[in-house]
Amino acid sequence: MSSLTQSSSSTPSYSSGVPSSAAHYRQPPAAAGGAGDFFDLGDILASQQRVPAQFEQTVYRLGFLDAQSSGEHIQSGAKMELPLWLARALGGRRRNIVRIDLPKQYRQQQRDILRADANVVDLFKQGPYFYLMGVKLLFFDHMERSDLAKSLLETFLNRFRRIMDTSHHAFSSDVTMFTTRLDETERVLFHIGQRSVAAMEKWERGRSHRIEASDVVQKRRKRKRED
């Protein structure tokens, strides 16, 4: 049994339990289970967002996580908000120590608003990493997981066209008010759209570099000449 939830009759040990700081916790690579990219700043910031959680078991020596309690341990049934990375460490499929509830921006009421017209929603206010955090929530065993996945996809697709259309006309109008309503993922896409339009206009004006053969083609030609 985990050292975090051993019976009170034995001396609890925290040496092999969950570390007390995010600085000591390294998520596995995304390919190993979708936990995220440890070296990606956006992914790290998204993992720091807090989610409502309830402890399903008594947990020893983690009382400091509950700012409203002076106890050394966290009792079963205790509710608090935890960083997403810690909630996943404690609430994964192999270690069901905590159960999470969806943050309000991902619940049914907000999903209904997004379904009605996603383009009118200020997604940045819902969370600067709305999509990244939403995807991470899908790895919890939650009854609304499939509905959340569908909502995230539909929201992204419904907003994507307008983001690209606006980015292509960004040089002829003030889009500040528009971009402040985008989450960080959407802002990246917006700037990619801007750069692609600028590159196309530069090419059409003849200011781009002369088109050259790729290195692969040049090396192949060189080998033929040597033969």
Print pLDDT tens along the chain (227 aa). Answer: 444 444 444 433 333 333 333 333 333 334 333 455 667 888 999 999 999 999 999 988 888 888 777 788 898 989 999 999 999 988 866 778 999 999 999 999 999 999 999 999 999 999 999 999 999 999 998 899 999 999 999 999 999 999 999 998 877 677 889 999 999 999 999 999 999 988 888 888 876 566 666 777 677 777 767 76
Domain ranges of the chain: 1-101, 103-213
Check residue 16 and give its pLDDT: 32
Given a contact cutoff of 8 angstroms between Cβ atoms, the answer to whether 38 and 44 are in contact is yes
- Quote the pLDDT of residue 93: 66
d(CA 118, CA 158): 7
pLDDT of residue 172: 63
Edge-to-edge strand list for the sheet holding 50-55: 79-83, 50-55, 98-100
Class for domain 1-101, per CATH? Answer: mainly alpha
Dihedral (Cα; 111, 189, 22, 72), 10-degree rounding: -20
Q: What is the pLDDT of residue 209?
A: 60
Q: pTM for the complete prediction?
A: 0.70
CATH 1.20.58.2050 fits 103-213, yes or no: yes
